[in-house]
Amino acid sequence: MPSWVDQILGSNIPYITYAVPIFFLLIGIEAFVGWMGRQELYRMNDTINDLSCGILQQVVGIFMRTILFAGYLWIYQHYALVDMSGFSPAGKGWAALVLFLGVDFCYYWFHRFSHEMNGPWAGHVVHHQSEEYNLAVALRQGTFQACFSWVFYLPLAWIGFPPLWFVAMSSFNTLYQFWIHTKTIGKLGWFEWIFNTPSHHRVHHGRNPKYLDKNHAGTLIIWDRMFGTFQEEQEEVVYGITRPLNSWNPVWANLEEFAHIYQEAKAAPYWVDKIKIWFMHPSWRPRGLVPSPTPAEVTPRSIRKYDARAPRGLVSYLVLHFVLTLIVSVGVMAANGATLTALILPTVFVTLTLISIGGVFERRGWVVWAELIRLGLLVVLAGVFSVGTAWIWPALVASISLAIGSALYVGLRRRELLEAPFEPACLTPSARP
């Protein structure tokens, strides 16, 4: 009979996918608590952008995770020091405890390097771009982050922890970090000395100079205390990054920092610096360029938040199509046995939808044509995945009706979208959307 370790860690259960409904339930509860307490914890544009980045990371990331997982599997199959499949149930229990500590330890170092080295920072920065701090921010993740993180976990494969155990324990590490992205929970007494908490992680998301590059822990804060990166929450946290993104485009959110580093490297007079910049701290600049300014002291009253908004009448339209895209995304995430080819079409649809939603919020003129292409793709998507089933005609009728209705609606609002100048509003901390 399989041990509890095999049942929990070795069963290939997509824990994060199954947790999605719980995530949204808790987000709704937090928003309601904020509303009852007259706290503006969420903004529609910011929240949708957070979730869009998370969706993009999960959907597009399937391709990269599939490839990168092969590295862990190869080392495990050829160089593992121990075969844990033969352990007794008690032995597997102790091995699971060591794996928990190992995953959290490796995560700490990956996360620390993601703040102290330009290349990994470009993949991780997406998570820090929001100027709010709520449970939706927990789901805001960088699509290219996995390109840098996987290397840090290879020692676990070498030791001999089975790949499925590693995937499951990494999922638990990620799930734990969801609840610490909130302003509604204060300090938690003795718990603060051992575990990562909302208070500790608020510091990590702060752009206050004293908070930069602090509290990198995943589950256990002990690593920060041991390695000198711990900072207690003291002054009020100002969230976001020192060079704000100022965009609701989730694709650009993932590319902007890479583009910035590339431009810095291109401008560098010395070839060695063109390479070196990818491995240096984000504050470092090549020789011959103006040094980066020292981060200024900030307070919630001294900054203005980016707040470009969609035309009022289009918000319901955006929410409808965002929910539809979310459903498609969950289907993609749950399709473990699907071929990469079968995943390409829904991935393209999801990506285009999220770009288009960001374009509407920013009132970009090109969004009208993007919507028409996207709605056509929706019909194709419905047809391809329902062909050969009893659902093909209902799927086609529903998708065509939705596409035509949406196209007509966008057409009626075309002038508003095309003529409205792109003037991103700025929201002061005291203002309400």
Tokens matching residue 24 = 């949204």
Distance from C-alpha of 333 to C-alpha of 14, rounded to nearest angstrom: 9
User: Cα separations (Å) of 345 from 84, 351, 379?
Assistant: 39, 10, 12
Look at 291 and 284; give whichever has higher pLDDT.
284
pLDDT beyond 70 at 432: no
Confidence of residue 179 (pLDDT cuts 50, 70, 90): very high
Q: Which of 180, 280, 183, 197 is nearest to 231 (CA)?
A: 197
DSSP string for 9-77: HSS---HHHHHHHHHHHHHHHHHHHHHHTT-----HHHHHHHHHHHHHHHHHHHHHHHHHHHHHHHHHH
Residue 207 dihedral angles phi and psi, to the nearest 5° = -100, 5
With vertex at residue 251, the alpha carbon angle to CA 246 and CA 255, rounded to the nearest 5 degrees, is 80
Tokens matching residue 63 = 């391709």
C-beta separation of 18 from 172 below 8 A: no
Distance from C-alpha of 124 to C-alpha of 149, rounded to nearest angstrom: 10
Distance from C-alpha of 157 to C-alpha of 310, rounded to nearest angstrom: 47
Q: Which helix (H) or strand (E) holds 333?
A: helix 315-334
Q: Is 336 exposed, middle or buried (0-12, 13-18, 19+ CB in 10 A)?
A: exposed
User: Cα separations (Å) of 42 from 9, 134, 240, 254, 307?
Assistant: 35, 7, 15, 22, 12
Predicted pLDDT of residue 347: 86
pLDDT digits (tens, 9 = 90+) for 25-66: 999 999 999 998 888 899 999 999 999 999 999 888 776 777
Predicted pLDDT of residue 120: 96
pLDDT beyond 70 at 159: yes
Q: Which of 267, 302, 300 is nearest to 286 (CA)?
A: 267
Predicted pLDDT of residue 393: 82
Distance from C-alpha of 254 to C-alpha of 143, rounded to nearest angstrom: 7
Number of CB atoms found within 10 A of residue 164's CB = 15
Largest CA distance in the chain: 70
Distance from C-alpha of 127 to C-alpha of 111, rounded to nearest angstrom: 11
Look at 300 and 133; give whichever has higher pLDDT.
133
User: Cα separations (Å) of 336 from 12, 59, 63, 66, 308?
Assistant: 10, 12, 12, 10, 37
Q: Which helix (H) or strand (E) holds 305?
A: strand 305-306
pLDDT digits (tens, 9 = 90+) for 251-276: 999 999 999 999 999 999 999 999 99
pLDDT digits (tens, 9 = 90+) for 314-366: 888 999 999 988 888 877 766 655 566 667 888 889 999 999 999 999 888 88
**Alpha helices, H only, 335-391:** 340-361, 367-386
What integer is the mean pLDDT of 300-313?
A: 85
Predicted pLDDT of residue 433: 31
Predicted pLDDT of residue 428: 52
What integer is the mean pLDDT of 172-199?
A: 97
C-beta separation of 433 from 307 below 8 A: yes
Distance from C-alpha of 107 to C-alpha of 407, rounded to nearest angstrom: 45
Average pLDDT, the chain: 89
Task: Name the least confident of 230-239, 286-295, 372-381.
Answer: 286-295
